[in-house]
Structure 1
Amino acid sequence: MHSRFKKFISYYRPYLGLLSADLACAFIVSAITLILPLCTRYITKNVLEGNLTDGGNRIYMVGSLMLVLVLIHTVCNMFISYQGHMMGALMESDMRIELFDHYQKLSFRFYDEQKTGQLMTRITNDILSLTELYHHGPEDIVISILKFVGAFIILININVSLTILVFLFLPVMAVFGFYLNKKMNIALRTSKDRIGDINAQVEDTLSGIRVVKSFANEEIEKKKFAYQNKRFVESRRESYKFETYFYEGLYAFTQLITIAVIIFGGAAIIKASLDLADLLTYLLCIGNLTEPIQRLINFARLYQEGITGFDRFMDILEVESDVKDKTDACELDQAEGNLEFNNVSFKYKDNYNYVLKNINLDIKVGDYVALVGSSGVGKTTLCSLIPRFYEVNEGEIKLDGINIRDIQLKSLRKYIGIVEQDVYLFAGTIAENISYGKPGASLAEIMEAAKKANAHEFIMELPDGYDTDIGQRGVKLSGGQKQRLCIARVFLKNPPVLIFDEATSALDNESEKAVQDSLEKLIKNRTTLVIAHRLSTVRNAKKIIVLTDNGVEEQGTHEELLELNNVYAHLYNMQFNI
């Protein structure tokens, strides 16, 4: 808890100058608010009741002073309102950047267990509520303390017994506020979780909108959304219930204080222990006593909303990636593409079974290696270990004789190109998507990569050529076109190690031929691993590795494995009905 508080405070550091100016203005505003009732008391008690000969001049002088004070008060309040809010917004921006940067560092293992909608909520809604807390928190505390202490000094000097009566209300208010504050905190945390669930549901439905419509399951999605929406409304019901009790209860206490002052102050006037001018001043100062309480009430609301968001923000920020650079990790100047697997074992969680067990492979520079086997034996997982998307549990993987754990992640992944079956393209233009393989690449380089990937012709037929917007996830392109853009992206990256997760299995014959031609150009003189589902595509592989639940069952050329008449031969004969 202490470390989180230090972290919370640390976001003020870049803006200490602005915070100091904000608090200085808050101090001036508080002082002026306390001075104005004293000016009123001076006019009513010293001037009007004193029957001074120059009373008129004194009233105008005090009135002029009050006008100047109001002007200063207004300017300071304007500074607090604008610059204070901007300070909060800048701090919010810093937090959002820090969280987004942290998202980039987390491994696939983290994302396997998270919902995108929840992660989006933490970087938007949760942090948004912190702007008001960061801005109003310090100034509300400063103004409240100054006004409260100042009002207390003034009131105790006017009438001790009346002031003691007023302060008898405060312990009751504190207990009442503390109890409901705790209830509000729980309700607000639940509410933030529920809005995250809504975002997750919306993201899931909209991402799969084509599947939804193809199965005509809009009603099912509506019911799923309605369920999450209802849970959110119920959480808000609890939140609003305790907020209502809290705010209205404390407001009632402030009203009771005012009534008590009027009743007992009036009785004191009748007994001649208090005069009317002092009661008028007392009532004006009571506003300065109750207004800090209302500010603290507002601060309590901001605190509850902000701190629940901050806790959720920190829950993610405190997650450490299981895949990260060693302090002495090296940066590769170049890579040739030798890969070694030495007794590599991997499982996704400690309580899970091993997906890969004691894998030993030696892949030389320029080798074309195919990975085959039934679904679930770990072909994709094995390839994901090479760029360290996951960390091996046992054994080691070497690139050019260096343990990949001793290589900086960015440097390692720079020399590995991946073309997946499930293509991902970003919203934007074709040129922007291809240049993702080499940020800052010239249009000539982008076009050359597209030509090598057999993509240039279809790109030039599009309305805006390389500047054509392809929509979210490339929705305006066919499967073959999207696949060729991904291959162009890898051509532009020009890595020595390639990984293909059966890049043609979902394509029609014509598209498959175009993609296959571009792949054959790409694999020349590169170390290539292909995850193969269609065994016809890997007949020419230098080495075919057959994976089973027992690990590497067989390896050799297509002909050698057929002669063994074992697992590979069985898969091949079954696929071609031999």
Structure 2
Amino acid sequence: MLAPFLQLLFGKEELLRVEPAWTFSGASVTNHIKYVISQVIIHYDNNKVYALAFICIVILVSIFFKNLFTYLGFRVLSPMRNYVMTKLRSDLFDKILELPIGYFTEQRKGDIISRMSNDANEIEFSVMSTLEGLIREPLTVLIVLVSLVLLSPQLSFFLLVLLPATGFIIGRLSKSLKKQSTDAQERYGLLMSILDETLTGLRIIKAFNAEGLIGKRFFAVNDGLGNLRNKMNFRRDMASPVSEFLGVFVLCCILWFGGKLVLSNQADLNAEGFITYILLFTQIIQPAKNLAGSFSSARKGGAAVARIEEILQAAIVVKEPEAPKVLAQFSHSIEFKNVSFAYNDVTILKNINLTIEKGKTVALVGSSGAGKSTLADLVPRFHDVTEGELLIDGVNIKDLSLQSLRNQISIVTQEPILFNDTIASNICLGKQDATQAQIEDAAKVANAYQFILKKEEGFATNIGDRGSKLSGGERQRLTIARAVLKNPPILILDEATSSLDTESERLVQDAINNMMQNRTSIVIAHRLSTIRHADEIIVLSKGEIAERGTHDSLITKGGIYQRLVEMQEVR
């Protein structure tokens, strides 16, 4: 901007005394500004200070608009980028909530967290941040190439032979970036898994002096990740300088080839046109350099996209029916009719026939791996049966809406599952509109009311990560209070007392007995003393019902159940 105006100011060019004709071009704008500067100089009797001030104002106004439009460009691009990332994270979390429980048995929790955090960030910085360059730079290169072809088809033919060769070299450089990036994301997921296991099992690690072993595992993965990322960065950072060198190499080839043609008068343009052609070609180098960097970043981010797509495109095995029926209330029975279940071609349950009448308690007994938890998980449709039918009040549960089905069921697990929130929020997880009085009543039924009152903030006390601020018995009583408040007709109890001390066990067992009154209960039994009064005991062996009956009748048979009782020395 400065050069043409300063030449006019310092007398290197003649003042324009006649207003130039207007055309829609940069040259016309420049000429009009020169005319205005000339009129200022003439008006003030060749006092060029005023003209210098005008030039400064023109520059300031131009730079102001340049930066204004740059800012407005960011104002458009930034919300777009943030919206895409917000939507991506929301879709990913929504899919995690939809996926069946079986999906997560084969996935490391740390790896899923890595995809949600590190991979999403990689997409944001590697793909979304280069989006502008991936749109703008190809357009710039295309416009310049078209201009070059129009200026000299002869030289442009030579150019179009060289450019694909340079593009191939740059492409080869970035080709392995996606594979390396996939390896890096997987290592990061493994790193997060080790961290999660370390935080969860820190007490055991210290007790067994295993800090060195766990540290060695973490440091090995971490060092490998660091080395891999260095290789990726070296390759990515090579793209820009290599593209610039190749661009200048092509420029030199054109300069030699075109210059030879011009000197021998064989070219389709004169010397001035050749110089213009060379100057115009130099406008390709920077966009091509930027495009190479953007392309390499996009390839690197492509691995993160693929890892997130694995989750987004994972099959939903347990699907909501197209025309779901609503289970308003549980009235009669739960019936397993020739039910079999297999996972990854391994048969877990085989030919189960079982009817659980309303108000009855059925206990599931058997050795580890017999299929007790899987059988119980079929009722709330955590898994779908492979063969046969599972009916509630005569209706196949696959025809019921998932929400209405699960509204009729509460689950108390062997390991208490609590969230980093207040006691009240954990209790009312299944009934968000519960009043304070209802929360307190549920706590009383669960024998939790007294210990809650002793807390400094009562029901508003934060219980920490996974309820770490509470004892084992207190955590379990909160999960029972949560189940009581939901007030469902069907209970699934995975022996909630097996890991507690004697006093806590008595309090929790009393709470369970209170909760089971007038409800249909499926009890997964580890301590056989807790199911002596069950209406029916189902003994599972290798996925099949081996024995069934009451406690006394099974003892009389002298089969698997009796041996299990003898092993626990319970009569």
TM-score of the aligned structures, taking structure 2 as reference length: 0.85
What residue number does 1:22 align with? none
1:537 correspondence with 2:530? yes
Residues 261-291 of structure 1, C-alpha deviations (whole Å, 9 max, x = no match): 888999999999646x995x77764553212
What residue number does 2:415 align with? 422
* Contact 1:118–1:200 (Cα < 8 Å) also in 2: yes
What residue number does 2:309 align with? 314
Q: Of 346, 349, 353, which aligns to 2:341?
A: 346
Q: Of 210, 213, 220, which aligns to 1:217?
A: 210
What residue number does 2:474 align with? 481
Shift of 1:214: 2.2
Aligned residue pairs total 536
Distance across 2 between alignment mates of 1:60 and 1:223: 76
1:433 correspondence with 2:426? yes
For 1:560, what is the secondary structure of its paired residue? helix
1:399 correspondence with 2:377? no
For 1:347, what is the secondary structure of its paired residue? strand
Distance across 1 between alignment mates of 2:329 and 2:454: 38
For 1:231, what is the secondary structure of its paired residue? helix
1:377 correspondence with 2:339? no
* Contact 2:371–2:543 (Cα < 8 Å) also in 1: no
* Contact 1:366–1:527 (Cα < 8 Å) also in 2: yes
Distance across 1 between alignment mates of 2:453 and 2:279: 77
Paired amino acid for 2:331:
E
Residues 180-236 of structure 1, C-alpha deviations (whole Å, 9 max, x = no match): 221222222222222222122212222222221222211111111122113312322
What residue number does 2:21 align with? none
What residue number does 1:10 align with? none
* Contact 2:181–2:301 (Cα < 8 Å) also in 1: no
What residue number does 1:52 align with? 14
Paired amino acid for 2:306:
D
What residue number does 2:47 align with? none
Shift of 1:53: 3.7
Shift of 1:151: 3.5
Trace 1:259-338 onto structure 2 (pairs within 5 A).
274=271, 279=275, 285-336=280-331, 338=333
1:469 correspondence with 2:462? yes
* Contact 1:499–1:530 (Cα < 8 Å) also in 2: yes
Trace 1:12-27 onto structure 2 (pairs within 5 A).
none
* Contact 1:337–1:400 (Cα < 8 Å) also in 2: yes
Distance across 1 between alignment mates of 2:249 and 2:35: 36
Distance 1:367 1:285, change over 3 A: same
Residues 379-429 of structure 1, C-alpha deviations (whole Å, 9 max, x = no match): 111111111111111111111111111111121111111101111111111
Distance across 2 between alignment mates of 1:124 and 1:305: 16
Residues 101-147 of structure 1, C-alpha deviations (whole Å, 9 max, x = no match): 00111111110100111111212221223334664555324422443
Paired amino acid for 1:548:
S
* Contact 1:47–1:58 (Cα < 8 Å) also in 2: no
Distance across 1 between alignment mates of 2:520 and 2:33: 94
* Contact 1:169–1:253 (Cα < 8 Å) also in 2: no
For 1:343, what is the secondary structure of its paired residue? strand
Distance across 1 between alignment mates of 2:292 and 2:64: 27
* Contact 1:144–1:296 (Cα < 8 Å) also in 2: yes
1:514 correspondence with 2:476? no
* Contact 1:85–1:131 (Cα < 8 Å) also in 2: no
* Contact 1:337–1:527 (Cα < 8 Å) also in 2: no
Shift of 1:436: 0.8
For 1:129, what is the secondary structure of its paired residue? helix
Distance across 2 between alignment mates of 1:78 and 1:563: 85
For 1:54, what is the secondary structure of its paired residue? coil
Shift of 1:549: 2.6
Q: What is the percentage of aligned positions where both structures have the same residue?
A: 34
For 2:343, what is the secondary structure of its paired residue? coil
Unpaired runs of 5+ residues, structure 2, are: 18-30, 38-54
What residue number does 1:18 align with? none
Unpaired runs of 5+ residues, structure 1, are: 1-35
Instruction: State the Cα RMSD in Å.
Output: 3.3
Distance 1:99 1:575, change over 3 A: same
For 2:442, what is the secondary structure of its paired residue? helix
Range with bigger deviation, 448-457 or 173-182: 173-182
* Contact 1:47–1:59 (Cα < 8 Å) also in 2: no
* Contact 1:337–1:364 (Cα < 8 Å) also in 2: yes
What residue number does 1:363 align with? 356
Distance 1:166 1:61, change over 3 A: farther
Distance across 2 between alignment mates of 1:286 and 1:98: 45
For 2:176, what is the secondary structure of its paired residue? helix
Distance across 2 between alignment mates of 1:135 and 1:73: 23
Distance 1:430 1:45, change over 3 A: same
What residue number does 1:575 align with? 568
For 1:355, what is the secondary structure of its paired residue? strand
Shift of 1:245: 3.4
Q: Of 492, 502, 511, which aligns to 2:495?
A: 502
1:448 correspondence with 2:410? no
For 1:227, what is the secondary structure of its paired residue? helix
Distance 1:206 1:60, change over 3 A: farther
What residue number does 2:89 align with? 96
